[in-house]
Amino acid sequence: METDLDRIKEITEEKSVENQEFRVFLKRCDLSSEEIDSIVHRLYDEVSEEIDCESCRNCCRELRPVLNADDIERFSTGLHLSAGEFKERYLIECGEGEGYIFEERPCPFLKDDGCEYPDLRPEDCISFPHIQKEKFVYRSMEVVKNCSVCPIVFNVYEGLKDEIWRRGR
């Protein structure tokens, strides 16, 4: 199990072509989307028991979650700001109708390697690393991007390759 963030980033860069080839393989393999989800969820459970997100927080340093209207309302209320003030102070639009992202990285609410306002976190943060959701195959492009950021994603993706790709070669 690899947990060193520098090593994970290095390995992910070395395996960029392989990771894309595996994405294509997943879409065409004989396993159903549900079967792949089942394997991914099992691997996620195994890996996430070994890796503590609370001590890592690399996602808070490297990624910018998409905030929806409910997220903005929750933050605004919690910080005693209007939605407009919150947006102006912290956010930028991330695309037409797609929502907003934090203007700066790392997250402006990352303090001493923890979330300053854990009860206000956006849904995108709460559900990260998203691999525990259904339809893994259809989100594999985002998974590949997150391999270099999140040790859980990296180890699950490598485990998935070992389990259904490398063994079949």
Q: How would residue 167 be classed by pLDDT, with cut points 50, 70 and 90?
A: low
Q: Say how many residues make up the chain.
A: 169
CA 87 to CA 76: how far, in whole Å?
9
How many other C-beta atoms can be found within 10 angstroms of the C-beta atom of residue 46?
13
Name the pTM for this structure.
Answer: 0.89
Quick: pLDDT tens for 61-119.
999 999 999 999 999 999 999 999 999 999 999 876 778 999 999 999 999 878 999 99
Q: Is the CB of residue 157 less than 8 Å from the CB of residue 19?
A: yes
Task: Pinpoint the alpha helices (H) of 51-150.
Answer: 53-56, 58-62, 69-79, 83-90, 123-126, 140-146
Peptide bond between residue 129 and the one before it cis (omega within 30 degrees of 0): yes
Q: Is the pLDDT of residue 169 over 50?
A: no
Beta bridge partners of 102: 91
Beta bridge partners of 115: 110
How many other C-beta atoms can be found within 10 angstroms of the C-beta atom of residue 134?
12
End-to-end CA distance of the chain: 23
Percent of the chain with pLDDT over 90: 79
- Tell me the mean pLDDT in the region 128-142: 90
